[in-house]
Amino acid sequence: MRVPSSLKSMSVACWLAAGCFSALVVAADVPGSQDLPGVPRMVDAQIVDYRPAAELERIYPMGSIRKISGQLRFDGQVNARGHMTSVTYELPPEHSSLSAFTAAREALQKQGAELLFWCQARDCGESSLWANEVFGNAKLYGVDNAQAYLLLRLAPPQDNSLVALYSITRGNRRAYLHVEQFEASAPLGDLLPTSATLLRQLKDTGVLDLPRLNGDPQTAWLTLLSRGLNLDTTLRISLSGANAEAWRQALVDQGVRTARLELGTVETPGLRLELLR
């Protein structure tokens, strides 16, 4: 039986429409998912995994992770009970996992979030451990040299909340950004960053703003800053703030060479370190 040309056209149109619809379904976010507040979504990124708020005990590493005798090991951690929400984005091919990671980090820092731990590439440890042991998400298993992890504390009055970022590029070149927001049930207390994290931020952004350090030099922060600066003795730094001179002298007393430290002229709350190029 001969099919009228008009019906053929309709069939082709329906087939094309179905094909387009299928493509849209594949590209759409997983049902019920949503972005986390304060973390921008990269254009054309899609949510491929979403876990709504659930109460649990959470451990966030603050060091390179490794497995010894079947146990996960890292130098430091934040351990608390609270509610966690997570979102995993698959990124469009034209964007790298690191660019999405950087955009998210910068957006959170502009909102006053404080960096606690930051590692990249092999400094983080094995990607398989981050994917399976820390985040429980096999999509995040990729190339060790193409990963980055960041743990931040949100600014007051949300300072009992943490945000963890993990970006990865898989062997098939698909790139992902994983974001977790954790709201602790009890006050987190005083959390200090690592010396290596302070140095990484200073070298990457050229600036290290520490608004909380608005008084006399504190022993714990002096130790962190002096160790961080002495991890790379080629760097020269300017210090600004109301008590910059006192911090400068205290850092010298902690073993940082005087010739590496200058006084800046920037009016800023707390203490500001700038990298002198």
Res. 14 pLDDT band, cuts 50 70 90: very low
The two tokens of residue 102 are 């950087």
Q: Stretch 145-168: mean pLDDT, rounded?
A: 96
Mean pLDDT across the chain, nearest whole number? 90
Lowest mean pLDDT among 67-71, 166-170, 269-273: 67-71
Identify the CA nearest to 142 among candidates 157, 154, 131, 150: 131
pLDDT over 60 (residue 211): yes
Percent of the chain with pLDDT over 90: 81
pLDDT over 90 (residue 46): yes
In which element (H, E) is residue 99 found? helix 97-110
pLDDT at 27: 56
Q: What is the pTM for the complete model shown? A: 0.86
Res. 10 pLDDT band, cuts 50 70 90: very low
The two tokens of residue 95 are 């964007």
- Domains identified in the chain and CATH numbers: 46-184 (3.40.1000), 195-275 (3.30.1330.60)
pLDDT over 70 (residue 7): no
pLDDT over 60 (residue 6): no
Give just the sign of the alpha carbon dihedral 257, 261, 262, 268: negative
Identify the CA nearest to 89 among candidates 180, 179, 181, 182: 179
Res. 3 pLDDT band, cuts 50 70 90: very low
Q: Stretch 154-162: mean pLDDT, rounded?
A: 95
- Residue 13 or residue 148, greater confidence: 148
Interacting residues of 18 by C-beta distance below 8 A, sequence separation 6+ = none
Q: Stretch 21-29: mean pLDDT, rounded?
A: 49
pLDDT over 70 (residue 4): no
What does the alpha-carbon distance between residue 193 and residue 253 come to, in Å, rounded to a whole number? 21
In which element (H, E) is residue 248 found? helix 244-253
pLDDT at 251: 97
pLDDT over 80 (residue 263): yes
Res. 70 pLDDT band, cuts 50 70 90: confident
Q: Stretch 222-240: mean pLDDT, rounded?
A: 96
Q: Stretch 179-192: mean pLDDT, rounded?
A: 96
Q: Stretch 257-275: mean pLDDT, rounded?
A: 95
Q: Stretch 210-222: mean pLDDT, rounded?
A: 93
What is the distance of C-alpha 26 from the center of its chain? Answer: 27
Q: Helices (H), strands (E): how many in the chain?
A: 6, 12
Q: How do residues 107-140 score in pLDDT, each as one tens digit?
A: 999 999 999 999 999 999 999 999 999 999 999 9
- Residue 4 or residue 208, greater confidence: 208
The two tokens of residue 226 are 């002096």
pLDDT over 70 (residue 20): no
